[in-house]
């Protein structure tokens, strides 16, 4: 009995130990080899919270805030958590109707699983926010989430500052947006796009533990894994917000552009593309709708004319023509031309505004009176100059000068999507005229017509070159990033850009002549008391191609200037489309802006001029018809393209089936 009993004692002990060992083995594998449980533990218990820092603020040159942030609330919903909610009360509080509520909920349930938080309503109005807070306890599952929204302090400089919007799927494929995720916001135009990396700051990632109800609680591991968010850096601009607003006021109801630069730094003082838009339209929940409206507007407010529109410069190119001619030695300042109203050396006559003899007796007079004959001739003399082997080499040399002035290529301003205008070179003419051309063929270029096209920015930049006597700084809007003027992103704007070596004396001659333009020439109306202005008016002929027909449109009114002559502080270019003479519209506007900038206010005696400019409505009625025609044409082109595609597809399909048919016949039909 006792031996049997004690042996049974051992059997029991073995059973006890055996079970313990089985459990321990199971535990050993569970705890040391099944990493999936560790991952799951982290998944369920750790909540990764991405914290978006406020975007950088934009200040103008005087420290005035132009662009900052404001707080809005999004209403988020976790459908699973909605329990016994008074839906009508909710709809009532949020100001929506029941079908909208149901539709939204259905959309959310399709898009996202019901335990995850989805956006129910974006950017609530203050009333909605207040009403929700009052009744928040009645609506389980709904939650307010704070978000920053860009706030434009003035209704101006929309194109310059740009806007932000959610990143698109196409953008996400781009390496620049590698760190972005769907739903993130990014700059889409203007400075917001150009300085996106600076403005956005650095996102912070906070790891929080959450409990079984998915509520974030303590920081995970005491926050040791967290990365702190870094606020976006501010941008300090050269832009003068007051001047910008004044310029926009003057350009109201006109199509065109104003660019004002500081010649000493290349800083942009004002940049207007008219008609503009209120930048506050392109933020918030109405953005997409407003964007579509602006996009369809025939006057194209989203098109930045200051950097993208290419205008024939007209007479405003004449100082440059003279500069090159003087420098290569084709003419002397005393060179004169007897002009009696037209230039007749090249077949059909070219009209000149002045008929009295002697208005082009020397370079100064010719520029002051903007004699077409004189500058056409001077241009011809330049490219036919004896030191060049042929007109082809002469034109190439001329092209090189102009290229160094910043023409024919984007200047490199820190606003995205800049265009370069057009600048013809020998190759282009060779292609156009099959090598069969001479100086008479291209004579119009000398007076700023023909193949040469400049952006207003390039025109203003050219004024900087003349003002500085031979150099310029690449135009740029941003003076410093977060107070640091030596930021790597700004390095290229601190480098002096020298044009092909032209002696100061040559610039003196041109400046002298340009001063005469205001004092005794075409732009007497642009005169400002006690300031020496150098300027040039322009009246650019232009054509539109409508339905294959070339239609001559009303002239563009152009004006370029800089002031004061001795110590240039502002260089300006004004272009008003289809408005007529440069002296009539562009010159007074530029003059008012210069006065405003140089003297801080416009003298009262120019009030009548100011009113006239502000109230002038110069949008050509053809703009609308031409725009609709262009759009119709684009649509036709698109339809034709789609038709061709369909046709190609059907032909491919037909040939495929024919090939198959042939194969079958060849192999199976005897």
Partner 1 sequence: MSNARKSLVSRLDGITILLYLLLTCIGLIAIFSVEHHSTDLVIFSGEKSYMRQTMWLGVSLLVGAFILLTDSKFFASTAFLSYTFGIVLLVLTIFIGIGVKGSKSWLGVGGIRVQPGEVCKIFTALALSKFLSLQETNFKSTRDRVIGIAMVMFPALIVILQNETGLALVYLCFFLVMYREGLPNVFLVVGISSVALVLGTLLIDRKVLFIILTAITALVGFLIRFELRRNNIARILLISIWGVCIIFSQLAVPFMFKHALKPHHIDRIYSMLGKEVPVEYQRKTEDGEERKGNSSEYNVLQSKIAIGSGGMFGKGLLNGTSTKNQFVPEQNTDFIFTAIAEQFGFAGSFVLIGLYISLMFRIMFIAERQRSPFSRIYAYCVSSILFFHFAVNISMTVGLAPVIGITLPFLSYGGSSLLSFSILIFILLKLDSDRHAMIR
* 5 lies in the binding site for partner 1 (CB under 8 A): yes
114 part of the interface to partner 1, by CB under 8 A: no
* Cα of 370 vs its chain's centroid, Å: 34
Reference 273, options 420, 458, 456, 459; nearest CA is 456
Window contacting partner 1 (CB under 8 A); options: 1-9, 409-417, 514-522, 621-629: 1-9
End-to-end CA separation in angstroms for the chain: 99
Q: Is the peptide bond before 560 cis (omega within 30 degrees of 0)?
A: no
Nearer to partner 1, 40 or 632 (CB): 40
* Minimum distance from residue 102 beta carbon to partner 1 (Å): 23
Q: How far is the CB of 77 from partner 1 (least distance, A)?
A: 22
DSSP state of 140: T
Q: What are phi and psi of 159, to 5 degrees?
A: -70, -35
Among 86, 97, 127, 218, contact with partner 1 (rule: CB under 8 A): 218
Smallest Cα–Cα separation from 447: which of 350, 336, 524, 333?
350
Residue number with CB closer to partner 1 (34 or 634): 34
- Which of 216, 208, 145, 103 lies closest to 136, judged by CA? 145
Q: Which two tokens stand for residue 516?
A: 């005469």
Indicate whether 115 belongs to the interface with partner 1 (CB under 8 A). no
Q: What character string, x for contact with partner 1 (CB under 8 A) and - otherwise, covers 7-46? A: -xx-xxx-xxx-xx-xxx-xxx-xxx-x-xxx-xxx-xxx
| Residue 404 φ/ψ region, left for φ over 0, alpha for ψ in the -120 to 50 degree band, beta for the rest | alpha
- Identify which of residues 5 and 669 has a Cβ nearer to partner 1 in the complex: 5
3-state secondary structure 587-606: HHHHHHHHHHHHHCCCCHHH
- 46/65 with CB nearer partner 1: 46
Strand 496-498 to strand 256-262: parallel, antiparallel, or no bridges (unpaired)? unpaired
| Among 83, 173, 212, 431, interactor with partner 1 by CB under 8 A | 212
Burial pattern 282-305, b for ≥16 Cβ within 10 A else e, equals bbeeebeebbeebeeeebbbbbbb
Instruction: Check residue 225 for interaction with partner 1 (CB under 8 A).
Output: no
Residue 187 near residue 218, CB atoms below 8 Å: no
Residues 6+ apart with CB under 8 A from 547: 629
Encoded one letter per residue, x for contact with partner 1 by CB under 8 A and - for no contact, window 181-210 reads: ----------------------------xx
Q: How far is the CB of 78 from partner 1 (least distance, A)?
A: 18
Quick one: 116 or 285, whose CB is closer to partner 1?
116
Q: Would you tell me the crossing angle of helices 504-519 and 318-328 to the nearest 10 degrees? A: 150
Residue 31 or 100 having the CB closest to partner 1: 31
| Of 46 and 544, CB closest to partner 1 | 46
From the CB of 24, what's the least distance to partner 1, in Å? Answer: 6
- Give the three-state DSSP class for 492: helix
Shortest separation between residue 240's beta carbon and partner 1, angstroms: 53
Count of positions on this chain that bind partner 1 (CB under 8 A)? 39
Binding site for partner 1 (CB under 8 A): 5-6, 8-9, 11-13, 15-17, 19-20, 22-24, 26-28, 30-32, 34, 36-38, 40-42, 44-46, 209-212, 217-218, 220-221
């Amino acid at each position: 009995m006792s031996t049997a009993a004690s042996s049974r004692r051992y059997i029991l002990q073995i059973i006890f130990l055996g079970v313990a060992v089985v459990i321990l083995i199971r535990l050993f594998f569970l705890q040391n080899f099944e990493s999936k449980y560790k991952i799951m533990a982290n998944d369920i218990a750790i909540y990764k919270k991405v914290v978006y820092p406020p975007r950088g603020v934009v200040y103008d040159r005087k420290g005035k805030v132009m662009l900052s942030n404001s707080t809005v609330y999004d209403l988020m919903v976790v459908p699973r958590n909605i329990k016994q909610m008074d839906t009508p009360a909710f709809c009532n509080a949020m100001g929506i109707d029941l079908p909208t509520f149901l539709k939204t909920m259905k959309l959310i349930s399709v898009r996202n699983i019901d335990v995850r938080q989805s956006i129910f309503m974006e950017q609530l109005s203050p009333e909605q926010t207040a009403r929700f807070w009052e009744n928040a306890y009645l609506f389980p599952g709904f939650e307010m989430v704070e978000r920053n929204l860009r706030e434009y302090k003035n209704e101006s400089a929309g194109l310059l500052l740009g806007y932000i919007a959610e990143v698109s799927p196409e953008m996400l494929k781009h390496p620049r947006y590698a760190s972005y995720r769907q739903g993130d916001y990014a700059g889409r135009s203007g400075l917001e796009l150009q300085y996106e990396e600076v403005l956005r700051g650095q996102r912070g990632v906070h790891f929080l533990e959450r409990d079984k109800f998915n509520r974030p609680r303590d920081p995970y591991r005491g926050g040791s894994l967290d990365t702190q968010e870094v606020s976006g850096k501010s941008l300090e601009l050269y832009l003068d917000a007051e001047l910008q607003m004044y310029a926009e006021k003057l350009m109201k109801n006109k199509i065109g552009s104003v660019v004002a630069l500081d010649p000493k730094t290349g800083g942009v003082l004002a940049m207007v593309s008219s008609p503009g838009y209120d930048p506050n339209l392109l933020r918030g929940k109405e953005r997409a709708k407003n964007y579509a409206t602006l996009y369809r507007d025939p006057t194209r407010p989203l098109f930045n004319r200051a950097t993208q529109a290419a205008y024939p410069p007209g007479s405003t190119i004449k100082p440059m023509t003279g500069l090159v001619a003087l420098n290569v030695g084709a003419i002397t300042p005393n060179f004169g031309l007897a002009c009696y109203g037209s230039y007749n050396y090249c077949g059909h006559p070219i009209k000149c505004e002045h008929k009295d003899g002697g208005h082009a007796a020397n370079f100064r007079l010719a520029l002051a009176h903007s004699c077409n004959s004189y500058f056409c001739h001077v241009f011809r003399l330049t490219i036919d100059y004896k030191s060049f082997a042929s007109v082809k080499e002469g034109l190439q040399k001329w092209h090189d000068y102009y290229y160094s002035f910043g023409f024919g290529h984007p200047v490199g301003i820190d606003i995205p999507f800049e265009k370069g205008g057009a600048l013809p070179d020998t190759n282009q003419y060779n292609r156009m005229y099959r090598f069969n051309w001479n100086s008479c063929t291209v004579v119009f270029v000398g007076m700023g017509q023909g193949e040469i096209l400049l952006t207003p920015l390039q025109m203003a930049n050219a004024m900087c070159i003349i003002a500085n006597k031979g150099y310029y700084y690449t135009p740029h809007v941003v003076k410093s990033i977060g107070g640091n003027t030596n930021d790597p992103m700004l390095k290229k704007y601190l480098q002096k850009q020298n044009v092909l070596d032209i002696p100061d004396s040559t610039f003196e001659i041109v400046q002298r002549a340009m001063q005469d333009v205001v004092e005794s020439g075409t732009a007497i109306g642009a005169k400002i008391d006690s300031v020496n202005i150098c300027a040039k008016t322009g009246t650019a002929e232009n054509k539109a191609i409508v339905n294959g027909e070339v239609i001559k449109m009303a002239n563009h009114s152009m004006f370029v200037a800089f002031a004061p002559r001795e110590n240039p502080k502002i260089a300006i270019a004004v272009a008003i489309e289809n408005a007529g003479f440069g002296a009539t519209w562009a010159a007074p506007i530029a003059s008012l802006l210069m006065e405003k900038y140089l003297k801080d206010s416009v003298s009262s005696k120019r009030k009548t001029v100011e009113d006239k400019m502000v109230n002038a409505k110069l949008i050509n009625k053809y703009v609308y018809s031409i725009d609709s025609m262009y759009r119709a044409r684009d649509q036709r082109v698109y339809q034709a393209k789609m038709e061709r595609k369909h046709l190609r597809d059907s032909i491919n399909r037909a040939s495929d089936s024919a090939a198959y048919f042939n194969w079958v016949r060849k192999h199976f039909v005897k």
